[in-house]
Amino acid sequence: MNFIARRKVRALFLCLSFWGSAAAAAPAAASSDPKPAAPEAESAGRALRDEHQVTPGSVTIGGRALAYQAEAGVMVVHVKDPMDEDAPAPAAGGEHPAAPPPQPPEAGMSYVAYFRGDKEDPRRPITFLYNGGPGSSTVWLHMGAFAPKRVVTVDGAHSPAAPYRLIDNEYSLIDASDLVFIDAPGTGFGHLRGTDKEKAFYGVDQDAHAFANFIVEFLSRHNRWNSPKYLFGESYGTTRSAVLANILESEKSLDLNGVILLSQILNFDDSVDAPQYNPGVDLPYVLALPTYAATAWYHHKLPDQPAALEPLLREVERFALTEYADALAQGASLDGGRRTAIAAKLHAYTGLPADYIERSNLRVNGGQFEKTLLGSETTTGRLDTRFAGPTLDPMSREAEYDPQSAAISSAYVSAFNDYVRTVLKFGANKTYKPETDVEKTWDYLHQPPGATQKIPGPTNVMPDLAVAMKQNPRLKVMMNGGYYDLATPYFAAVFELRQLPIQASLQENIETHFYTSGHMVYAHEPDLQALHANVAAFIDKTRNGAAAR
């Protein structure tokens, strides 16, 4: 669901325990002559294996009933093809068998795929969808956006506790494309095994290679190599998509028809979560300012409230890239009069007190803004700043939780756990992990195309998307963003795409769409409807003359 840079935000997400899988792997009840289970027997009980369950379904979209087949399962993904490894040499006659070699790392990645019709049609487009985190499952896109079923939540406020309503999703993307929702390694029903397993899968490059191996294996098993192919990533999933598009193209000889980005972040230097730890890089403050303005406008905190949002945003965008950016660049040399004038302008655009802005050195990070805008007792959301909730600690400097995440997480996770078991008939004796804490082990260093090693510093995958677009000049890119998203501000996404190192002609391959919601634009039903229409149109015009649906 989210790009997480602050540990306090991460703590809000529900992570379920491992007890279900452990219980399934436990040895049988002891006999009258108990013997300890052999190590190989215990290992076999915990071995990863492919499994899946297929169920039929139907959904009504636009007044038309569409039949589909749902496949829920787990696919084991390896770092390298295990058939490329030599079998261990047999022991010499009479000698004890040699110790087995260390187990290569592998990941069981869970997924749910939907194929329109009574049987799979290899001519249809196929879209691979995933959330981000890193360390997030894809329960959010699955239960909120494009699957044939979706959970109903309250828009802009905390949803009541169970029972939750799961309804037919009239905005499901199954009308335009077959869909494969993929959970990241270690999340969902998936597990890791083998030597250095976290090192093998938890990192910018490692994670993208795991998804690439999953996709090519899925295409082979389902005979979909000649289908129009799309990536749909949300949040850190957009970071993944940039790296993944380049890997698929350069290492797997697989051209994509399109890359669809939702709540984009390609350059982590642009994050407004904690820019105070990166002094001298003021771009996060500049690029977040329009989202501050949108949030203050929504909550009626502007001293001179405009009637319409978008004209205000265009005005703030111009100010941010000119006067504000220039003032920040001057640093300590900015004279007092100019400093006060800029603070007054920021007050007019954000609703924050001018003296607070001056005391913050004209630099207010995302957590400060969320904590301060509505006063000491109320905190605005981070993923969607339309949401608000009680402040955990009125004396804190920054927000200590995300009211939007707290408002809907239970609904999404509970609804999926019920749906996957009762409708899709998968997941018995398994635990679904919506989130896995990978923060301590995640390798944020990235080796961009052309570099001989990983580059120190914040992750930046703009070169990967640029190279993918250059090597496949027909590749189309679609960016979608919410005006009220402070996790990945929409104007930062616009700035990144404008700065891609590509020819001017390739900029024409990029289209952008904006919505009056936050990070999860689909949580606002009018925007879900618009998102569906925009994505379906994008797929229809980029499927390169594939057979009619």
Q: Is residue 201 a contact partner of residue 226, using CB atoms and an 8 Å limit?
A: no
Looking at residue 547, its pLDDT comes to 40
What per-residue confidence (pLDDT) applies to 23? Answer: 34
| Residue span of the structural domain in which 156 resides | 46-84+108-269+409-542
In a domain, 9, yes or no: no
> What pLDDT is stored for residue 180 in this prediction?
98
d(CA 294, CA 327) in angstroms, rounded, equals 22
Say yes or no: 301 and 371 in one domain: yes
Last residue of a domain, one of 366, 387, 404: 404
Same domain for 302 and 367, yes or no, is yes
Total structural domains in the chain?
2
Q: Are residues 255 and 292 in the same domain?
A: no
Choosing from 404, 421, 438, the residue where a domain stops is 404
* Distance of alpha carbon 140 from alpha carbon 131, whole angstroms: 7
In a domain, 95, yes or no: no
398-417 pLDDT per residue, tens: 888 888 888 899 999 999 99
Same domain, 414 and 389: no
Whether 503 and 385 map to the same domain: the answer is no
**Within a domain: residue 28?**
no
Residue 431 to residues 78, 214, 274, 534, Cα–Cα distance (Å): 22, 21, 33, 35
pLDDT along the chain (549 residues), means of 10: 38 29 35 43 69 96 93 95 72 65 91 96 97 96 97 88 93 97 97 94 97 98 97 98 98 97 97 94 98 98 96 98 98 96 98 97 96 93 93 87 85 96 96 94 96 94 98 97 97 98 97 97 96 98 64
pLDDT for 88 = 67
> What pLDDT does 47 receive?
86
Domain stops at, among 389, 404, 419: 404
User: Within this chain, do residues 155 and 113 fall inside the same structural domain, yes or no?
Assistant: yes
Same domain as 183, residue 55:
yes
Question: Based on the domain organization, do 306 and 397 belong to the same domain?
Answer: yes
Query: Are residues 395 and 329 part of one domain?
Result: yes
H or E segment to which residue 56 belongs: strand 51-61
Task: Judge if 413 and 439 occupy the same domain.
Answer: yes
Same domain, 331 and 423: no
**pTM exceeding the 0.85 threshold for the entire prediction:** yes
**Amino acid identity, position 374:** L
pLDDT of residue 102: 82
- Whether residue 39 is contained in a domain is answered as no
Question: Is there a domain that residue 527 lies in?
Answer: yes
In-domain check, residue 19 = no
263 is a domain residue: yes
Same-domain pairing of 386 and 535: no
How many angstroms separate the Cα of 341 from the Cα of each of 64, 303, 346, 348?
A: 58, 16, 9, 11
Cα–Cα distance for residue pair 80/101, rounded to 1 Å: 16
What phi and psi values does residue 51 have, to the nearest 5 degrees?
A: -160, 150
pLDDT attached to residue 103: 87
The answer to the question of residue 220 being in a domain is yes
